[in-house]
Structures are given as C-alpha cells and as structure tokens.
Amino acid sequence: MSWKDGAEERAESLRRIRESAAQASYDFKRGWKIYRRSLLAVVGLLMVISISVVSIFADDLAVEHPGRNLQDTRDVWHIDYEPRKAAPFSEECDTRYQKVSLTTLRRWGDNGTSALSPTRVADDNSFYQDTLVVTKFIEMQDRYGVTLASDLVTLEPSNNTYFWISDELMDNNSLTQIKLIYTFENDAMHHWWLPDGYDVCIFGTNDEGQDLFSKILYGSRVSLTIGFTVATLTVIIGTVIGSISGYFGGRTDEVIMRITDIFFAVPGLILALAFVAALQAVDNFTIPLALAFLIPIIALALYARSNIIEVFMPGSEGVSFPKINPIIGLTLFIAATFFIIITEAHHVWYDAFELSDSRFWRLLLSFIAIFTIAGLLTLDKRLIENFSTDGFSNRAVNVFDWKNPYRYLSFRTVVIFVASIALFSWSGNGENEIVIIDNFDRLWKIQIALVFTGWPGYARLIRGQVLYVKEMTFVEAARSVGAPSGRIMFRHILPNAWAPLLVAFTLDIGGTILSASGLSFIGLGAEPGAAEWGKLVSDGRAHFPQDYWLVLFPGLAIAYTTLGFNLLGDGLRDVVDPKNRR
C-alpha cells in the first residue's frame, strides 16, 4: 500500500485532532466565564501569578545574590554584619562602620586609610574589599564608642575615598583603634524600580547583615519548587494506586485501602518528621546501573507485548482464552524481579550485565530482556498453543502504520521514546550507578517525606471517582469491544475523573509550602543560612518583637502564597462543579 492509500485515514485523524482542540478551547472559555464570577478567585489567580513572576525574575529584582560553596552544591549567602538588623527603609544600609587600626598605621608610617567595604568573597573564593565613595562623614569613635573630635580626621576632597588622620591623633598612643562612621554611594543596594529615598533596605536586614527582601525573593523559588514538585508527585502516585484500587476492586482494593488506613492512622507531620530524620545520613540518591536498566526495559516490554498480541492474534475470534488480570500480572512480575534482586539469583542479571561495559552489549542485552519479558507476559493469552500464523507476514508488515503518522500522537509514543533515550544514554555510562539526585540535601528530604505521606489522600479521592465512572455506559461499551484494562482506565475513566484532582492539586500546593516551612521552622528543613521562608522565620524569632520585620515579612510571604493557591483552588472548584456547567 502506498502513501496515497492512507489519505482518507489521515484526514479522519486530523479532523478528530481539530475537533479535540476546538472542544478544549470551548471548555476553557466556558470555565473562565465561570471562574471570573468570583472576585476572590480572580484575586487568588493574580496572587499566584504575581508570586510566580517574582520567583522567575528574582535575579533582576533582588539587590543581593547568593554565591556557591566550595563543593558547588548549594547557595551560600555572604555574611556582612554591617548593617546588622537594620529596620525597613533604614538609612543604615548606606552607612559604614569602618574600624581602623592606628597601631598598624603607625607601624607602616601611614597617616591615612581608604574607605573600604567589609571583606567579600569573589567567584574564585578569594577575599577582597571594594573602595567606597564617601558621601558624608558622620563622626569618629574610639573602641569603646566614645565620640571623638571630628576635625582629627578629614576626607580627601578630590575623590572622597581617602581619610587623612591628623598627627595629633597618630601621636596619641593611648588610642589603638578608631571607628569611622560615614555614608557612601551604595548603588548595589538600590532598587532600580523604586523612587529615590525608598529604594534601600525596604524589608530591612537580618542578624547577619543580609538584605531580607532579597532572601525572601529567592525563597519564593525554593517554596514554589517544593510545592509544585511534591503536589505533582503525590498526584501521580495517588492517581495510579487509586485507579488500580477502584477499577479492579475485590482483594486488590481491600489491600490498598488497608495500607492507606495505616498512613492515615499516623499524623502526616509526625510521619514526615520521622522520615526526614531517617534520611539524615543519605547524601546522594542513586540506584545501581543494572537495576536502573530494568525500568525502561519493563516499560518497553509492556508495549512490545501489546504489539505481539496485535500481530499474532488480531481478534481472537472463536478461541476462548483464560483471562489473567494484566495489572496483577505486572505486579507479580515486579515483585518477582525484586525478589530475585535481593537474593543470590540477582547475580544472573548482574553477571550478564557486567560481561562488558560496551554500549553494543548493554543494548543487545536490553533487547533480549525486552522480548523475553514480553513473551512471558503473553502467556496469559496462551499464545503458543492457540495462535494462527495465517496472514502473519502481512500483519507484521503493517504493525508500523507509516501511512498515518497521526496514529502515533499518543502517550504510548512518549513513553517508548523516553525509555529508548534512557537506554541509549545509560548504556554509555561508565559508572556503576545512576545519580537521581546529586546533592540530596534537607530540602530534597522534605520533598520525599511529604510525597511519602501525601499520596494516600489522592488515592482515596481518585478511587471514589473511578468507582463512580466505571459503571457508566461508555466504559461498558469499551469493555465489550475487548479494550484492555489499562486503556479503559487511562483513556476512558481518568479523563472523566480528573476534575477533583485538579482542585486538590491546587489546594495541596499551598498546604505543602506551609508544611515545608513548618519543618524548616523546627530545624528539620532548610540548611542554616538558606533563603527559605520557614528558616527565615525561625532565625528571626529570637529577635522578636524588637526586630519584628525578621518574622513579619517572611511570615507574610508564606501567608500570601498559601492564600493565593487556596483562593485559586476554590475558584477551580466552582468551575468543575457540575451545577455550574448547565
């Protein structure tokens, strides 16, 4: 058959794609019309958009920025105790308290000193000091804070960067150190987007002299990353487990629901605390290379099994085969695989895998494993005993329908593509393990702990939706024409049960940010000195209420973000409510 023979089928596929796009556009417009009826929902959307924009453009809005530690594994904020705990909009950010050792000047015979910044750390981890341009010399003090006559020190009038010390002061051996207090041109701390007079230290500084506004901006990236990562992973895990429980029911449902009951019996925060504490000694999250290969191999084997059945048995008319639940079969296979790994028999796979570290051998071994597993998984169809080879050659040629490329615009194609890329890239890896998370710091431990404790709620939610949707007529129709269970679940049931998940996902982002901030507040979250909202509140509570801004502004950031996502979720609840679709 030629390319022209598939013109009608391509036209039909394209028509369906256009209809789906048009329907999606219509649903979005109708949803937005319902959503904007609520003023609070619109406000929540604007709040979420604003905090997201601030997170994206934090580099441009902040006046101070973190560097990297010597291992290049995490951000480190430079400690500058000038000015220390300066109030919001304070002029202290433009004020320098420079200590000058008169003993050193006498030793070198100097009568002056430059206006220098505190010691800073360069990108190459060397130390340096900037020369400052003085705008106003305020006063001079001795080492005990006693003000001295200001005429004993004069500012160089030509460049305003050098202080001349009088001979009278140099000859006074009772003074070994003085403190020069002056204001200087501090463009680095000025916000370009604010008018003059309101653009320095708008949120004040913390106990380490760091600009609090800049740390809150960078903290938005940390909190949003945690919120979206945890919510996404919990939705995926909970959806898969809840779908299996609700669709198959029976003992499968009973076992899964009892497991979720165990998680619900222990408070989530307490369980997260125990999980974080148990992971304290883990620095890197890695898995053995031989074990990592099994993940894409199993994924490709499942789709190879489907193609084998389509080629050998395109209908199964007239033959009755015993049906084995594919999900249970897959579960048993995975359990058997892990059983082999934890026993001495795992050497069979490891020894074969390590016969050579060449890409050709690893790919060849992967293909052998894929078709071996796919063949074993087709035993539930009794393929060897009952299939007919009549017309097999024609069916094998037509497995890849090159005349209609629209057929491959599916999730299956994405999985196959990703799994193939993973096999190819990992086969050239000279190491014996795959690094999933290189720097498994406290923030990653928080996210894993919250995912570990958060999936049961989504599993319960999606189970209820699946129990309702699977009894509808279109599901029965799909089952009657022989559609496999996986296709029915993910192609017919889940698209009609996603609405509550979207609402729960949005609400859970705010709750996750609040939980992560709470763990950081009690010391099990972010590293000391990190720009994380909960950690900032924890650091500032020792100075509250005198230095209120150290707690107020990070707390407001947490409240603002959480409230925004909650209002957004309430608005989405109105959109997905069937009563509002009429």
- For the segment 156-184, the average pLDDT, to the nearest whole number, is 87
**143 DSSP 8-state letter:** T
Instruction: Extract the tokens encoding 490.
Output: 């993910």
pLDDT range class, residue 568, cuts 50, 70, 90:
very high
Give me the DSSP letters along 367-435: HHHHHHHHHHHGGGGTHHHH---TTHHHHHHTTS-TT-GGGG-SHHHHHHHHHHHHHHHHHT--SSEEE
**pLDDT for the residue 580:** 59
Decide yes or no: CATH 2.60.40.10 for domain 36-85+204-275+439-582: no
Where exactly are the structural domains of the chain? Answer: 1-33, 36-85+204-275+439-582, 91-200, 284-436
pLDDT tens, 445-499? 888 888 888 888 889 988 888 888 888 888 888 888 777 777 788 778 888 888 8
Counting beta carbons within 10 angstroms of the beta carbon of residue 24, is it exposed (0 to 12), middle (13 to 18) or buried (19 or more)? exposed
pLDDT tens, 266-291? 877 787 778 777 777 777 777 888 77
What is the sign, positive or negative, of the torsion defined by CA atoms of 235, 236, 241, 246?
positive
> What are the C-alpha distances in Å from 564 to residues 134, 215, 314, 502?
44, 20, 52, 15
- For the segment 543-561, the average pLDDT, to the nearest whole number, is 92
- For the segment 407-433, the average pLDDT, to the nearest whole number, is 81
Find the helix or strand (DSSP H, E) in which 550 lies: helix 549-576
* C-alpha closest to that of 45 among 575, 570, 502, 574: 570
pLDDT tens, 217-264? 999 999 999 999 999 999 999 988 888 888 888 888 888 889 888 888
How many other C-beta atoms can be found within 10 angstroms of the C-beta atom of residue 535? Answer: 26
* Whether the Cβ atoms of residue 283 and residue 440 lie closer than 8 Å to each other: yes
- For the segment 72-81, the average pLDDT, to the nearest whole number, is 78
* C-alpha closest to that of 513 among 559, 445, 551: 559
Q: Give the integer Cα–Cα distance in Å for 361 and 8.
A: 43
* C-alpha closest to that of 234 among 261, 207, 260: 260
pLDDT tens, 216-228? 999 999 999 999 9
**pLDDT for the residue 570:** 87
N- to C-terminal Cα distance for the chain? 48
- For the segment 345-355, the average pLDDT, to the nearest whole number, is 69
- For the segment 38-62, the average pLDDT, to the nearest whole number, is 92
Which stretch of 33-47, 74-88, 293-307, 323-337 has the lowest confidence by average pLDDT? 323-337
pLDDT tens, 483-539? 777 778 877 888 888 888 888 889 889 989 998 898 888 887 788 888 899 999 999
Average pLDDT across the chain, whole number: 81
